[in-house]
Amino acid sequence: MKLFAFIVVCLTGGLLLYGTADLPDWGDPNSPASLHLSNYYIENAVEETDVPNLVTAVLADYRGFDTMFETAVVFCAGLACFLLLRDFRPKKDQYYRHVPTGVVLHVKNNAAEIRVGNEFEDMDKDWVPSDTIIKTVCRILIPFIQIYALYVVAHGDFSPGGGFQGGVIFGSSLILIAIAYNLKTLMKRISEKFLGVFSAIGVLIYVGIGALAMFMGGNFLDYGKLSPIFGEHHIRALGMLGVEIGVGIAVTMVMVIIYINIVSEGRHDEGL
């Protein structure tokens, strides 16, 4: 089976490399994109989309279908990671740290569980000394990281940024909780069900905005048709903001799903 998989990968890679021979040279000013599409976008994007950021105008408006399916691919990546790695067998041995003394307790009875609070805290078996400085600094930084992530999503139509970038930053802030504390601390704050539901909701927000435009009598992702609901002022920019929010939610949740399943081997009990 491994040999067969290796042969398939090699053949697929060879076909992809062969196909690149038909692509234009890197930076070729005479390529079709440079002669036709690029000039049109540069000259008409602001007038047609009311979005000064050309990249966002292309990704969320002119190339909205492609970006929607990119978001669906991100969701499928998280789903595949869950299906391949998630392990529902009983948890392994539990480890706790006695906060006042730093003594580590190894509980082999899976049914027994020590109440976590001011006296005891969760820890992973790959023991790392509890560092108050790291925890305190991360606790201070994480809210600012999350605010910046929201800024990147909200201002993607005016400055570099958008749903993918903001989602990655927000997801990184959640992963930082697991790194600074432990995986159990993260899982207590954001459950597996929450991650799964909102990763799907992020994709549905994107699709829903496109479907709403069709319901209002336009084409799919024709943001201009949403004006009876949201008004005429910068309606296309507002529509793109909506899809960017959906992308940001999906990317955030999928990032955390992939992280917790990889670092814990699907057990969701211990990580880094």
The answer to whether residue 239 sits within a structural domain is: yes
How confident is residue 125, by pLDDT bands cut at 50, 70 and 90? low
In terms of residue numbers, what domain contains 71? 52-86+131-263
DSSP 99: T
The answer to whether residue 116 sits within a structural domain is: no
The answer to whether residue 153 sits within a structural domain is: yes
The answer to whether residue 79 sits within a structural domain is: yes
The answer to whether residue 202 sits within a structural domain is: yes
**Residues near 98 by beta carbon (within 8 Å), at least 6 away in sequence:** 104, 105, 119, 120
The answer to whether residue 13 sits within a structural domain is: no
The runs of H, that is alpha helices, within the chain are 2-19, 32, 38-49, 54-57, 64-85, 132-154, 163-180, 183-189, 192-215, 227-230, 235-263
Task: Name the amino acid, one letter, at 85.
Answer: L
Query: Rounded to whole angstroms, how far apart are CA atoms 176 and 248?
Result: 18
Most confident of the following: 87-96, 124-133, 213-222: 213-222
The answer to whether residue 69 sits within a structural domain is: yes
| pLDDT attached to residue 272 | 63
The answer to whether residue 111 sits within a structural domain is: no
Q: Are 166 and 61 in contact (CB under 8 A)?
A: no
| pLDDT attached to residue 208 | 92
Q: Are 255 and 168 in contact (CB under 8 A)?
A: yes
Q: Give how many domains the chain has, as a whole number.
A: 1
Question: Is residue 233 predicted with pLDDT exceeding 90?
Answer: no
pLDDT (tens digit per residue) in 8-60: 989 999 999 998 888 888 777 788 777 778 888 888 888 888 888 888 888 88
pTM, full prediction:
0.81
Percent of the chain at pLDDT above 70?
94
